Amino acid sequence: MAFSGYAHTGGGYDGGQGEYVRVPYADVSPTKIPEGMDIEDAVLLTDVVPTGYQAAEQAGIQKGDTVVVFGAGPIGIMAARCAWLFGAGRVIIIDHIDYRLEFAKKYSYCEAYNFKEMNDPVVFVKKLTDWYGADVCIDAVGCEAVGHGLQDITGRMLLQAGSATAFHWAVNSVKKGGIVSIIGVYGPPWNLAPLGSIMNKGITIRANQASVKRLLPKLIDHVMSGRLNPKGLISHRIPLEEVSDAYRMFSKKLDNIIKPLLIPPRAAYAA
Amino acid sequence: MKNVLEDIIEPPLDRTIANRNMDVRVQDIPGWGMDADPDNDPTYPMKRSNGADHERLNYVKAPQQRRDMEVLRSIERPNITRVFGTSTPPSGLSGIIRRYAYKFSEATATHWMTLILADRVDVIQGKINDLKNGILPNPWVERGWKAEWKHNRPAFVTRMTVTALVITAGILLLTRKSRTKQIVNS
């Protein structure tokens, strides 16, 4: 496996947060920004939009489905927004950060709930879905999840690759025969996963990195037609030189941050 | 006890809300359903669609099995299942542990680990009950050793010999320690 921007564990390829980037396979991978597209929309089309869209796409959402998204980060919010494009009947997002839930409610037209106000998120989702479970659950959190003591401790002790709490909740909250879509990032080694529940409930798991290039034509159309508004996710515009602050703000959820945009010096001068 | 969200919501609402959304909210949501693709459903053809997945509240339910013993119920559902197992009703210490396990959902380690503990305790309870009824343990029959003797004799004999040696060594070690303790104390 190899990914850009994932340090040495992902193959040691540079990421794209710089003034200049070296683009491997540049004869096929870049896409020309269409005339009239806002540059900030274009930036988010490189990652957040396709990733969120693919979370919904690979979830196999059928018309009228109840979709539960775990994680109200930018990807989870975009996944919730895109679930409607696939005909969801109900979209529910679950997180523990109130300001993000409030944002998701408006941006993604969805129901939003704080799992810190629940005894057990799985029982909550079951009750919310007439005790059957959601048709589809999307794990938009990945290995940095909080909310489950055993997962937290084993993750911190490096007994597993982070914490698989959101995945655990997704598997247990989805209906029998339902689909769990994983778009949250997990590390390569291993995680505590409820394989018995997956097998016994007949759950289908779909997971992938975003197929950005494949999805771009369709997503560009959605953006240009006003069906998706990526720019609306941007809460902060931060100079590239202050990238460490941006990461700190994002990881600590400071100043009601949703999605920071890094501005390279040359872009700032041009503006 | 704090007021949690689970206690506030009132089922069944899921289909009511989804149907209402599909009548009303979809008009506010640009592009609703335009990327829907019935073929993009990985659960088919494993599960053959009859197009009525969401009419789950209307199916005719099987008659309820008569309950004449204690049946433990998951907190993830409002009632006991229409049919349930009757082979091992909760009893004794194992039953107490199992009742505790069912206070937690299947998403918790507490639920499953406690049930496994209850199962082990139940095995011991079963042996005690056997002895009470004059039934002695017979591993030769109960554990399939007869078949091992017949079909896998060398490995079986080796395993039994090693087990016997380990147990003997353990006993000798324990008794030696206690003898040493007695000498030191005297």
- A173-221: pLDDT as tens digits: 999 999 999 999 988 788 889 999 999 999 999 999 899 999 999 999 9
Identify from A92, A126, A199 which residue to disrupt to test chain B contact, counting B C-beta atoms within 10 A and taking the largest count.
Answer: A126
Cα separation of A206 and A224, whole Å? 29
Q: Could B40 and A60 be called an inter-chain contact, meaning their C-beta atoms sit closer than 8 Å?
A: yes
Contact between chains at B18 and A64 (C-beta distance less than 8 A): yes
What's the CA dihedral at A52, A58, A62, A63 to 10 degrees?
Answer: 20
Count of alpha carbons within 13 angstroms of residue A82, beta-carbon side: 29
Residues of chain B found within 8 Å of residue A202, distances taken between Cβ atoms: 46-47
Question: Which token pair is B184?
Answer: 């030191």
Name the minimum distance, in Å, from the CA of B67 to any CA of chain A: 22
The 3-state secondary structure of chain B, one letter per residue: CCCCHHHHCCCCCHHHHHHHHHHCHHHCCCCCCCCCCCCCCCCCCCCCCCCCHHHHHHCCCCCCCCCCCCCCCCCCCCCCCCCCCCCCCCCHHHHHHHHHHCCCCCCCHHHHHHHHHHHHHHHHHHHHHHHHCCCCCCHHHHCCHHHHHHHCHHHHHHHHHHHHHHHHHHHHHHHHHHHHHHHHHC
Cα A159 to Cα A227: distance, rounded to the nearest angstrom: 43
Structure tokens at B178: 């206690």
The CA-based diameter of chain B, rounded to the nearest angstrom, is 92
**Helix, strand or coil for residue A135?**
strand
| Residue B101 and residue B114 in contact, taking contact as beta carbons nearer than 8 Å | yes
Cis peptide before A230 (omega within 30 of 0): no
Q: What is the CA radius of gyration of chain B?
A: 29
Distance CA B27, CA A228 (A): 15
Residues 6+ away with beta carbon under 8 Å from A151: A145, A160, A163, A164, A165, A168, A192
The candidate with the shortest Cα–Cα distance to A110, out of A138, A82, A147, is A82
**β-bridge mates for residue A68, sequence order:** A92, A137
Task: Give the Cβ contact number of residue B117 at 10 Å.
Answer: 15
What tens-digit pLDDT sequence spans chain B (186 residues)? Answer: 568 998 888 777 888 899 999 988 888 899 999 999 988 888 866 666 666 777 766 667 889 999 999 999 999 998 899 999 999 899 999 999 999 999 999 999 899 999 999 999 999 999 999 999 999 988 888 889 999 999 999 999 999 999 999 999 999 999 886 666 666 666
How sure is the predictor about A144, in pLDDT bands with cuts at 50, 70 and 90?
confident
Please state the pTM of the whole predicted model.
Answer: 0.88
Task: Pick the residue of B43, B49, B103, B113 with the most A CBs within 10 A to test the interface with A by mutation.
Answer: B43
* Contact list, A113 vs chain B (CB under 8 Å): 5
DSSP three-state, residue A226: coil
Chain A residues whose CB is inside 8 A of the B104 CB are 120
At A66 the three-state DSSP class reads strand
Nearest Cα residue in chain B from A117: B4
Is B76's CB within 8 Å of A123's CB? yes
